[in-house]
Structure 1
Amino acid sequence: MPTAHLPAPDRTALYIGLMSGTSLDGVDGVLVQWDAQQQLHVLAYAAQGFASDLRQELLALNTPQGCNELHRAALAGNAISRAYADVVQQLLDQSRTPASHVSAIGAHGQTVRHQPQQHDGTGYTLQLQNPALLAERTGITVVADMRSRDVAAGGQGAPLVPAFHQGVFSRTDRSTAVLNIGGIANISLLPASGAPMPVMGFDCGPGNALMDWWCLQHTGAAYDNQGQWAAAGTVQPALLQLLLSEPFLQLSPPKSTGRDLFNPSWLHTQLQAFGHTPSPQDVQATLTAFTAHSCAQALMRHAPNSDSLLVCGGGALNTELMRQLQALLPHAHVQSTAARGLPPLQVEAAAFAWLARQCMLGLPGNLPAVTGAHGPRILGAIYPA
């Protein structure tokens, strides 16, 4: 049987990062390069939404239900990889880059279960895709399955982006916080360079997942554009306090979560406990406030002196959510990561390009202080071109 020989990795080579997060809205992709000074440059960005039938199937596969789940999951993984391949082709066409010039693709896959340290003590995290199919369709080496090695080492497998945030957004003169608001929100707390304290990072609660689902059910829109629907509603203080009483929010890090917890069933349970359901618009206003408060409380609890909060992910485009974050954190300057040169929808995809590069260079991709793993680990499985 012939042996696949990988080329020696080049620290300034081109990499592609592909991310489809818990928001389930589709795929974001970037083509990036690090220069000789190890500074990141995004050369191209492309995005593609999921077809509605694939999105519905992925939502269904997030919870144990129905029959033939293994078969359906395998086919969904194929469909995701075809969407990934389409985004890769857009990036190559846009930048006029031959596939042979790209060292590797970092492909995250679609998380449908995230249950680390549960059940048997190790637990698992499951991202659907077919990396072999992606390598076949693109002719590029693929690095996938980024999270499971950290879980095997006793970690949460998430968040993985704080190490990347540290390299891109940390400053020498002040601490910085980076808040990623996708389907789930996670925060990275970056001390000033040279400070004795370690980088911290953890999932801090729901991001867009509950807001998007409620908006879709009651307006037919996939998301609340700029938070306008929520802004016209009235926050229900008693309901907000009930939502904020969720025990996960009080746990100390390391911690991570997903749609396994913050899903429609969880929301229905909270509304039933509340005793009556306010108007749909007022629920949307309260869910927006819930995301803002849970994120702000995480920052105030763990880094109260941070005076800069950079926001990425789709939540950075929610004007009402950003307004509430600024109101809850008057001491901090709340702004999109675009102000620091990396648009909010490109950050996570760039992080997975970085993780692919770390893997190809034989370098760790996790921060044990963040995930709780027993030590640094090289993350990912390599599917050669």
Structure 2
Amino acid sequence: MRDLYIGLMSGTSMDGVDGVLADLSSSPTVLAHASAPFPEALRDELMALNSGGDNELHRAALAANGLVRVYAHVVQDLLRAAKVAPQDVKAIAAHGQTVRHRPRMFDGTGYTIQLNQPALLAELTGIDVAADFRSRDVAAGGQGAPLAPFFHQAVFARSGETVGVLNIGGISNLTVLKADGSMLGFDCGPGNALMDFWCKLHTQADYDDGGRWAAKGHVVEPMAKAMLRDPYFAQQPPKSTGRDHFNQSWLEHHLRGTLAARAEDVQATLAELTARACAQDAHRYSLRRLVVCGGGALNAHLMSRLAALLPGVQVQPSSEAGVPPRQVEALAFAWLARKTVQREKLDLQSTTGASGARVLGCIYPA
């Protein structure tokens, strides 16, 4: 008997929504995949809400409504493509859009904020919605991210082999699946976010397709080395980060003194920053295989740099391991929604640093 869930993912790249409809009755099987870009005004507002501003509570509430309407559109596309009725789906996993992520800060607990309106999504789709996956982990002393390592273990682990799963979205995160069956996971640092910003600023394209623009440039070594001296890269896991730290202001700080650099050289340097940050983390764990997912897996230049920086490691897109790169995170949240529905605890001490196993997420009934 099928056990159907929908997973939705709108990550730190803020380019839109990816969704999957999956059968989780045995090994996760994707029955349909759909995506939708954000309307430009919504994307601009979501980007702006990453920083403080006037009337932001009102603006955030309306942006959440707009986000959920895109979610609902993707859900309808999935149901139509798979010829599945809403009542046959157990739940939708709607992670929301992270706009602030400050775990353990300020008062010792900190917070993480994902814009979302799961009640509206339940109304629009007629399907139960699982949401708010991160806040319980933060309340339990964890980083609230990354949450996908248990799913990565279920899908990508290999007996007797240490495998890394690198997700390169706006931010990059690494899961290490150790040969002994244990695992850990953490955010490496920037993924596509800074590259996308610079590409949009200078070419009007939303992203550097295939990394072709970066490949035309040359790495500005003083800038790359200065960026990698950021204290975040030296922190030991568990750790997580986001646009709160690696953002336009951070980039502008490092651009000072490099005004003579060509725009494509800066792009090449930003790609190199992502590749080196991820590679230096991968080096620490004697990986034999690195499975890459997220939008970064579609960047041929970035993938070639990772392969060059990790000799002896098989660097492969997740499609070669059974799941297309743009489906992995959405499928992971569908998998998490099933855990929420079943009230199954996940022990994320080795990834987020939470104090113990917790049920993540909450349910908004249809």
- In structure 2, distance between residues paired with 1:366 and 1:142: 22
Conserved? CA contact 1:163–1:366, under 8 Å:
no
Question: Would you say 1:256 and 2:231 are equivalent positions?
Answer: no
- In structure 2, distance between residues paired with 1:181 and 1:279: 25
Conserved? CA contact 2:146–2:352, under 8 Å:
yes
Q: Deviations over 1:235-293 (max 9, x none)?
A: 11111101111110110000000000000000001112x45451111000000000000
RMSD: 1.0
Match of 2:135 in 1: 148
- In structure 2, distance between residues paired with 1:325 and 1:17: 29
Q: Which runs of 4+ in 1 moved over 3 A?
A: 274-277
Amino acid at match of 1:368: Q
Match of 1:241 in 2: 225
Task: Classify the secondary structure of the residue corresponding to 1:346.
Answer: helix
Question: Would you say 1:354 and 2:335 are equivalent positions?
Answer: yes
Question: Would you say 1:327 and 2:305 are equivalent positions?
Answer: no
Conserved? CA contact 1:226–1:320, under 8 Å:
yes
Conserved? CA contact 1:160–1:366, under 8 Å:
no
Match of 1:15 in 2: 5
Conserved? CA contact 2:24–2:335, under 8 Å:
no
Match of 2:253 in 1: 269
- In structure 2, distance between residues paired with 1:365 and 1:139: 28
- In structure 2, distance between residues paired with 1:115 and 1:237: 31
Structure 1: which 5+ runs fail to align?
1-9
Give the Å deviation of 1:127.
0.4
Amino acid at match of 1:299: A
Identity %: 57
- In structure 1, distance between residues paired with 2:79 and 2:268: 41
Count matched residues. 366
Which of these residues, 68, 74, 83, is aligned with residue 87 of structure 1?
74
Structure 1's 366 and 126: CA in aligned 2 closer, same or farther, altered over 3 A?
farther
Question: Would you say 1:60 and 2:48 are equivalent positions?
Answer: yes
Give the Å deviation of 1:366.
4.9
Task: Classify the secondary structure of the residue corresponding to 2:350.
Answer: helix
Give the Å deviation of 1:117.
0.4
- In structure 2, distance between residues paired with 1:334 and 1:153: 35
Match of 1:345 in 2: 326
- In structure 1, distance between residues paired with 2:169 and 2:260: 26
- In structure 2, distance between residues paired with 1:34 and 1:349: 13
- In structure 2, distance between residues paired with 1:34 and 1:277: 53
Q: Deviations over 1:184-227 (max 9, x none)?
A: 000000013xx16x201000010000000000000000000000
Conserved? CA contact 1:355–1:365, under 8 Å:
no
Question: Would you say 1:378 and 2:366 are equivalent positions?
Answer: no
Give the TM-score normalised by structure 2: 0.98
Which of these residues, 59, 67, 74, is aligned with residue 72 of structure 1?
59
Q: Deviations over 1:94-138 (max 9, x none)?
A: 000000000000101000000000111100000001000000000
Conserved? CA contact 1:271–1:277, under 8 Å:
no
Match of 2:292 in 1: 311
